[in-house]
Copies of this chain bind each other. A is one copy, B any other.
Amino acid sequence: MRYRRVPDETVRRMPLYLRGVRILSEKGQGSICSKSLADCLGISAWQIRKDFSYFGDFGKPGVGYDVAMLESRINKILNLGCGHNVVLVGAGNLGSAILSFNGFRQYGFNIIAAFDRDAKKIGKKKGPVVIEDVSRIARMEKKGVDLGIIAVPVSAAQEIADALTAIGVKGILNFAPVRISVPKKVKIVSIDIAVELARLPYYMVSSQSQGVVE
C-alpha cells in the first residue's frame, strides 16, 4: 500500500475550510458546493477540490457537499474531534491577548495552564487560568498536554521549547521570531507578526510583483 503525502499547504488550508463550512452552516445551508465555500473564503474552488482530493471522496460532484458531513470529515482529518489541552508560556502583552481570546474553543482547544518568569505576573488570573512560574511547567507532564504556545522573547524561546517537549507536547505554536529546534515528532507552526507585515510593501509597487526578465 502506498499513501500520498499531504502537502503542508493543504493542511494549512483545512482549518480555513472548517471555518468556512461553519459560517455557511450558521447561515442555514445544508448543502454547499466548492464554489460557495470558495466565495466565502477567497480561495479558488479548484484549490478546494484538489485539497479535499488528498483525503478521498467527499461527496457527489455537482450536487455539493453535505454541510454536517463536511464539518465532521474535516474535524476528523484535522484530529480536532476530541479536543486538546494547551499550555501557554509567556504572559506578556501577546500572551495575555491569546489567553483572553475566545476563538480557540470552537476548535476544541482548552488552555489549561499559563506560565511566565516575571514574579509580578505569577498568581494573577488571565482569561481561564492563573499564571504560574515557568519552573512549574514540568508538573504538567502527566496532564495530557498536547500543544504549547510560545509567546516569550527570542532569548528564552529554545529553553521553553525544550521544557514543552519534555512534558510531551506534540505541537508548538511559536510567536518568538527565532528558529527553535525540537525532535522531529514535534510539529512547529511559527507566526512572526512583523514578518507577515513585512511582505505587504512588496505588493505596493506593481512592477515588484514580477521578478527578473526571462
Contacts and interface: CB of A to CB of B under 8 A. Distances in A.
A11 B205 CA distance: 13
Contact of A146 (B4, B23, B178, B201): B201
Interface in A97-122: 97-98, 100-101, 103-104, 106-107, 109
Contacts of A63: none
Contacts of A170: 200, 203-204
SS of A interface (majority) = mixed
A155 interface: no
A47 to B, nearest CB: 13
A81 to B, nearest CB: 9
Interface stretch (A128-136, A157-165, A206-214): A206-214
A197 B94 CA distance: 15
B197 A86 contact: yes
B77 A208 contact: yes
B193 A3 contact: no
A191 B194 contact: no
A33 interface: no
Nearest to A107: B198
A27 interface: no
Interface in A173-197: 173, 177-179, 187, 189, 191-197
Nearest to A106: B194
A41 interface: yes
Contact of A5 (B42, B92, B194, B210): B210
B197 A6 contact: no
10 contacts: A4-B210, A5-B209, A11-B199, A15-B195, A78-B202, A92-B97, A94-B101, A103-B192, A146-B201, A170-B200
A203 B172 CA distance: 11
A173 B194 CA distance: 10
